[in-house]
Amino acid sequence: MLALPDIEKITLELVAQIPQGKVATFREIALALGDPIAARAVGSILAQHKRDCPSHRVVSFDGTVTEEQAQLLQAEGVPVKGGRVLSLTKFLFRDFRSEKPLQKLQEIQNAIRAQMRLVPDRSDYRTAGGVDLSYVGTQGVAAYVRLELPSLTLIETHTLTQEVRFPYIPSYLAFRELPVMLALLQKLKEQNALADITFVDGTGTLHHRQAGIASQLGVMLDIPTIGITKSLLHGEPERDLRSLAPGEICYIRVGGQRAGAAIKPADSSEPFFVSPGHRIDLETAIELTQLTLKNLLPEPIQHAHNASHQAAQALKRQSSHKAHQLGLFDKA
């Protein structure tokens, strides 16, 4: 349903293009992928594949290298002194051959933004759902819960496990978590088992392209969604969030327009952030969030988090048990 580029494979191929006697920074690799925001992800990928490509040729933005890198680079004719490449710009390689896959993903997000409908298409919400994802290695465990409104009684829980290969890159979270969420929610939609509104652990309009995972999930399945996050990915608060009293909200602006809100649930807690995803407006999203708020996060999100975490722990125990049975661990 969602074809994604193999960012890990492409990153290693880009690093392999750096010729002997040259270096590139993590940022330059990220730019070749299509977005400098991916620099940290590049570092994580190379840390896992040090021997699969000439990763010693990738240096920090200021030319800083490890002792091992320094030895390898000097052997290739790149001068290093004091743990740093000398005359970095002279040895910097930028001529990567790349289709810039992240730019293509931005185009998908922009297309989603054009399809979003930020108006509610109903006035009566009898059930609320929540979806979240936990991880066990490369396995993503998605959980969807459905609660009754306004009692917040848990009606049912569903989980699905699927391999996750796309790395975490800020503002591209959807492409990491969407495949497994889509697989689960599509199945539930076909069974007419989705709630009237679905809370998503991720952003809606509070996103660099105003189309976070809540919006993408909503548009792709054509369902009403609300995004909930613990941190602010994008946007400017209308006031200092530290001044919020328990129960207060503060609107968040993107491009001068109100795109979301911060809500402080309790005196000792940090605010969380709500934004409309699809087929709902900001004010209704805030109202429904407040309606489902009992503790520090809306109940659909809290239940979904607990369910995905418990399923992930069960999977981890199961995997560990199988490993012991196969003799993959030394016996004490």
Q: Tell me the pLDDT tens digit for each residue of 27-73.
A: 999 999 999 999 999 999 999 998 889 999 999 999 999 999 999 99
Structural domain ending residue among the three candidates 34, 65, 99: 99
Q: CA-to-CA distance for 43 and 327, rounded, in angstroms?
A: 34
Question: Please, what is the angle between helix 213-221 and helix 173-190, to 10°?
Answer: 30
What lies within 8 Å, CB to CB, of 263 at 6+ separation is: 248, 249, 271, 272, 273, 274, 286, 289, 290, 293
Number of structural domains in the chain: 2
Q: Is the pLDDT of residue 332 over 50?
A: no
Do both 249 and 302 map to the same domain? yes
Do both 26 and 125 map to the same domain? no
Do both 155 and 23 map to the same domain? no
**This prediction's pTM:** 0.87
Q: 90 lies in a domain?
A: yes
Helix (H, G, I), strand (E, B) or coil at 91: helix
- Residue 78: CATH number of its domain: 1.10.10.10
152: domain range?
120-317
The pLDDT value given to residue 89: 93
Do both 154 and 225 map to the same domain? yes
Do both 155 and 200 map to the same domain? yes
Do both 81 and 217 map to the same domain? no
Q: 105 lies in a domain?
A: no
